[in-house]
């Protein structure tokens, strides 16, 4: 009788193992999934030009504040020139961080010519770098970010020789704007 019980136990054990393997095989062979995440996109324009297509933007239309001692449209001692940089994240699904680096090499020998940049929320990291964030709430509201830049040429007598070296020349000031997705990091 013991022998029959062992044989019966062994058969039931084989049958149970076979059923477990068959169930696992069904789960393994019938289990499938497809993941298709929607990728966030962005389209950013700076002063109406798509940054993906235009790597360099030349600013020639400065707005000069009136000075009765300088011909309109010219930059000279005693004049302030302004320019707006308008960032428009048209069709953007993510918050944006921007870092603006300013190359002031053209005015390094002219301490009476100063450059400044301002907008709510912009952080001046050092003498040449400004950073800011365009939150997703502003993007969804259709808002643009306008950064005010100003170049001020103070009339200081002791710099007349240096100032004279700029006659009939241009003062190129190169701005490099780097855009990235803002993920909550500290600026």
Check residues 21 and 94 and name the one with the higher pLDDT: 94
In the numeric block, which tokens belong to residue 130? 């400004």
* Confidence category of residue 15, pLDDT binned at 50, 70, 90: confident
- Which DSSP helix (H) or strand (E) runs through 126? strand 123-126
Each residue's pLDDT tens digit, 86-145:
999 988 899 999 998 888 888 888 899 988 888 877 778 788 888 999 999 999 999 999
Low-confidence winner among 30-39, 153-162, 177-186 (lowest mean pLDDT): 30-39
**For residue 90, which of 139, 37, 147 has the smallest C-alpha distance?**
139
What is the average pLDDT across 150-178? 85
In the numeric block, which tokens belong to residue 66? 């009136």
Specify the pLDDT at position 23. 65
- Domain limits of the chain? 1-32, 45-181
Fold of the CATH domain 45-181: Immunoglobulin-like (2.60.40)
pLDDT for residue 16 is more than 80: no
Q: For residues 67 and 29, give the distance between their C-alpha atoms in angstroms, rounded to a whole number.
A: 81
The percent of residues above 70 in pLDDT, for the chain, comes to 87
CB-based contacts of 148, cutoff 8 Å, min separation 6: 82, 84, 117, 118, 119
What is the average pLDDT across 22-44? 69
Residue 168, phi-psi category: left (phi > 0), alpha (psi -120 to 50), beta (remainder): left
């Amino acid at each position: 009788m013991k022998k029959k019980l062992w044989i019966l136990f062994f058969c039931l054990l084989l049958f149970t193992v076979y059923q477990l393997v068959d169930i696992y095989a069904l789960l393994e062979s019938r289990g499938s999934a497809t993941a298709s995440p929607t990728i966030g996109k962005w389209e950013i324009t700076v002063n109406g030009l798509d940054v993906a297509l235009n790597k360099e933007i030349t600013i020639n239309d400065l707005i000069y504040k009136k000075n009765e001692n300088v011909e309109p449209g010219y930059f000279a001692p005693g004049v302030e020139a302004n320019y707006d940089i308008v960032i428009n994240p048209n069709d953007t699904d993510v918050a944006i961080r921007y870092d603006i680096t300013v190359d002031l090499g053209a005015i390094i020998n002219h301490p009476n010519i100063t450059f400044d940049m301002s907008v709510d929320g912009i952080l001046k990291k050092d003498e040449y770098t400004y950073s800011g964030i365009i939150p997703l709430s502003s993007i969804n509201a259709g808002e643009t970010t306008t950064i005010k830049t100003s170049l001020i040429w103070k009339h200081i007598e002791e710099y007349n020789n240096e100032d004279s070296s700029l006659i009939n020349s241009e003062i190129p000031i190169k701005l490099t704007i780097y855009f990235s997705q803002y993920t909550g990091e500290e600026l």
